[in-house]
Amino acid sequence: MAGGPRIDIITLFPELLEPFLKGSVLGAALREGRVDVRVTDLRAYAPDRHRTVDDTPHGGGDGMVLKCEPTVAAIEAVRGPDGRVFALSPRGRVLDQALARELVSERQIVLVCGRYAGLDERILEETGAEELSIGDYVLSGGEAAALVVTEVVTRLVPGVLGNPTSPQRDSFSGGLLEHPLYTRPRVFRGREVPEVLLSGNHAEIERLRRKQSLRLTFERRPDLLERAELCEEDRRFLRELKHERD
Ligand code: SAH
């Protein structure tokens, strides 16, 4: 049984998505039936003989606009009764780990990839699609964004990652950036692994890692600290860091 939502991706370029979906963690999860991701070719829903999917913008302007008829038909064909539809768009709500956790408990998510100048506005109105962005920059199409959403969501499905505790440990899960990681060898070009990590003392290891996470977050993303889950010891350490800085 697949866990997590069924994910449908509607695109003019299915061939861009397939190699990525087949590879690595996601590919294995698909083959094992742990997740259900389907790609739909938007062009198959073009009603005319020429398979037209785009047209020039009313009112003028650069680029072509994806047309209502094929796009709405494709969405209506794949959307189930509980499907939540998203149009990838730089105007949308920006994806973050909290939204990913929300999406993993949906029944179905439909991701519509824009191309060219974007979608006819009436597609959004007619289908109630929410706009979803992966960050404040502009891609040439929604495909890379749809893959980002798919990977971020599916790795939260239980059983997709080998180790069930790793999604909890990742950056952002507790609201902090992840601590540095080390593997063998113990010394590389004179750079040593922190002694504590070799001590086998789990409480000490956790304490070091927590401090490293706090320090990195304090230095690079202080905005995250406002929403992070912090204990009294964390707050004390942050006060020390502030003191060091000032
Ligand atoms: N003219 C549009 C951008 C079009 S880019 C605007 O200024 O808002 C073409 C397509 O790429 C978009 O329709 C969207 O599907 C995708 N895209 C571009 N940047 C994106 C982003 N940051 N997040 C998600 N999708 C994006």
Alpha-carbon distances of 106 from 5, 103, 161, 217, rounded to whole Å: 5, 5, 19, 30
For the Cβ of 145 lying below 6 angstroms from any atom of ligand 1, the answer is yes
Q: Which CATH number fits domain 187-245: 1.20.1510.10, 3.40.50.300, 1.10.1270.20, 1.25.50.10?
A: 1.10.1270.20
- In the prediction, which pLDDT does 177 show? 97
Mean pLDDT confidence for 175-179:
95
Q: Is the pLDDT of residue 2 over 90?
A: no
* Of 159 and 146, more confident: 146
Q: Is the pLDDT of residue 221 over 70?
A: yes
Q: Is the pLDDT of residue 173 over 80?
A: no
* Of 164 and 91, more confident: 91
Mean pLDDT confidence for 48-56:
95
Ligand 1: distance of its center to the CA of 149 in Å? 14
> Percent of the chain beyond pLDDT 90?
92
In angstroms, rounded to a whole number, what is the distance separating the alpha carbons of residues 141 and 13?
A: 9
Mean pLDDT confidence for 31-36:
94
- In the prediction, which pLDDT does 64 show? 97
In angstroms, rounded to a whole number, what is the distance separating the alpha carbons of residues 70 and 113?
A: 13
- In the prediction, which pLDDT does 1 show? 63
Quickly state the pLDDT bin for 162 (edges 50, 70, 90).
confident
Number of the ligand 1 atom closest to the C-alpha atom of 112: 15
Quickly state the pLDDT bin for 215 (edges 50, 70, 90).
very high
- In the prediction, which pLDDT does 172 show? 83
Equal fold, 6-154 vs 187-245: no
- In the prediction, which pLDDT does 139 show? 98
Ligand 1: distance of its center to the CA of 114 in Å? 6
Alpha-carbon distances of 231 from 82, 97, 225, 235, rounded to whole Å: 39, 21, 12, 6
For the Cβ of 113 lying below 6 angstroms from any atom of ligand 1, the answer is yes
Ligand 1: distance of its center to the CA of 228 in Å? 30
Average pLDDT, the chain: 95
- In the prediction, which pLDDT does 170 show? 82
Q: Which CATH number fits domain 6-154: 3.60.21.10, 3.30.420.40, 3.40.1280.10, 3.40.50.150?
A: 3.40.1280.10
What residue spans define the domains of the chain?
6-154, 187-245
> Percent of the chain beyond pLDDT 70?
99
Mutate to test the pocket of ligand 1, among 139, 140, 148 (most ligand atoms within 8 A of CB): 139
Residues 6+ apart with CB under 8 A from 112: 10, 71, 74, 75, 85, 86, 87, 88, 119, 123, 129, 142
